[in-house]
Structure 1
Amino acid sequence: MKEPSVNVLGGALAPCSTDPVTGFFRNGCCDTGPMDRGIHTVCATMTAEFLALSKYLGNDLSTPRPEYGFVGLKPGDQWCLCAARFLQAHEEGAAPMVRLDATHQATLSIVPLDVLQQYALPEA
């Protein structure tokens, strides 16, 4: 059974993206559970800078991988990132903007709220 879907602000977790479909469970939300070892809980808007950093660090998110049903991401796409990778991007000065309403509260075990708030997109 998955954790209750609560965002980092304490409200209901909003969807992150259905085009492309994101999330560990591929349900459009940054939900998590025991099987999600990477804690894919940060709803982020991709930037060219972040995609280049992620590729450099060994996780190529921009190249399509049709065998996995993955279309490849481009700047502007929203995607559920691993919390630790987001923190690493922050430390490298390449963190993307995030949607706090769509970022799961489990993120807070890795990324402090004040760090997330530095990259918060305005509420829709």
Structure 2
Amino acid sequence: MPERNVLGEKLATCNTDPRTGFNRDGCCGTHPNDRGRHELCAVMTEEFLSFSKEHGNDLVTPRPELDFPGLDPGDRWCLCLGRWVEALETTRARHLPETTVPPVVLEATNEAVLDSVNLETLESHSYDA
């Protein structure tokens, strides 16, 4: 049975260049071994990449040994759900620029995230292509 997105439709591909997802198949699918929950498709912003690096997760520097190319602003990436929630909560608490919370590609975000973030919140941060 195909995985569904937060809109209840078939899960769309997040990105294939760079290839993302826990399985590096381009999709933000669920996987029993994925403790980071790479289920949310987000569009990277300069502010988020800086925020993430400051909080111990450098998403800019390539790590070939982990099949990680390094990200640039504008790249779509299956982001750890916890990191996105952390950016959201920190942005609200410290009044950081809204672009610190990377926009969400709803069609490519797994419905599994709805156990942690409501659809209204995701929609308020949705990416408009």
Equivalent pair of 1:22/1:29 in contact (CA under 8 Å) = yes
The residue aligned with 1:95 is: 101
Structure 2 Cα separation of the partners of residues 27 and 100 of structure 1: 18
The residue aligned with 1:37 is: 35
Structure 2 Cα separation of the partners of residues 69 and 30 of structure 1: 16
1:62-81 to 2 correspondences below 5 Å: 62-81=60-79
TM-score by length of 1: 0.92
Structure 1 Cα separation of the partners of residues 66 and 31 of structure 2: 21
Greater percentage in helix = 2
Alignment match of 2:120 (pick from 98, 114, 118): 114
The alignment covers a number of residue pairs equal to 121
Structure 1 Cα separation of the partners of residues 124 and 19 of structure 2: 26
Flag structure 1 segments of 5+ consecutive residues without an equivalent. none
Structure 2 Cα separation of the partners of residues 88 and 118 of structure 1: 16
Equivalent pair of 1:84/1:111 in contact (CA under 8 Å) = no
Work out whether 1:8 is the aligned partner of 2:6: yes
Greater than 2 Å deviation, 4+ residue runs: none
Structure 1 Cα separation of the partners of residues 124 and 80 of structure 2: 17
Greater percentage in strand = 1
TM-score by length of 2: 0.89
Q: Percent identity?
A: 55
The residue aligned with 1:18 is: 16
| Cα offset, 1:71, TM superposition | 1.3
SS at structure 2 position matched to 1:115? helix
Equivalent pair of 1:46/1:76 in contact (CA under 8 Å) = yes
| Cα offset, 1:69, TM superposition | 2.3
Counterpart of 2:119, as a letter, is L
The residue aligned with 2:51 is: 53
SS at structure 1 position matched to 2:39? strand
